[in-house]
Amino acid sequence: MTDEVLSFIDGRAGRLRLNRPKAIHALNLPMVEAMTAQLQAWASDPAVDVVLVDHAEGRGFCAGGDVLMIRDSAMDDGAAGRAFFHDEYRLNTLMFTYAKPIVAFMDGITMGGGVGISQPARFRIATENTRFAMPESGIGLFPDVGGGWYLSRLPGRVGVYLALTGARIDGADCRALGLATHYIPSEALEQVKAQIAQTPDDLSAILGEASVAPPASRIMESRADIARIFAADRLEHIFAALEADGGPWASEQLGTLRTKSPLTCKVALRQLALSRGCATFADNMAMEYRIASRIIRQPDFPEGVRALLIDKDNAPRWSPATAEGVTDAQLDAIFAPLPPDEEWRPL
Per annotation, catalytic residue among 136, 170, 173, 288: 136
**What backbone torsions phi and psi does residue 219 show, to the nearest 5 degrees?**
-70, -30
Catalytic residue chosen out of the listed positions 60, 64, 65, 147: 65
- Residue 285's Cβ-side half-sphere holds a number of Cα atoms within 13 Å equal to 24
Residue 341: C-alpha distances to residues 212, 344, 345 (Å): 49, 9, 10
Q: Measure the CA–CA gap between 13 and 283, rounded to whole angstroms.
A: 30
CB-CB contact of 94 with 346 (8 Å)? yes
Is 83 in contact with 33 (CB distance < 8 Å)?
Answer: no
Of 10, 229, 236, 232, whose CA–CA distance to 103 is shortest?
10
The question of whether 113 is a catalytic residue gets the answer: yes
DSSP secondary structure of 1-56:
--TTEEEEEETTEEEEEE--GGGTT-B-HHHHHHHHHHHHHHHT-TT-SEEEEEE-
Residue 136 annotated to the active site: yes
Annotated catalytic residue 57 = no
Catalytic position from the list 49, 144, 173, 303: 144
65 is annotated as an active-site residue: yes
Out of 58, 113, 116, 148, the active site residue is: 113
Composition of the chain by helix, strand, coil, percent to 5: 55, 10, 35
Q: Where are the beta strands (DSSP E) in the chain?
A: 5-10, 13-18, 50-55, 60-62, 102-106, 109-111, 123-126, 131-133, 169-170, 182-183
Give the residue numbers marked as catalytic: 65, 113, 136, 144
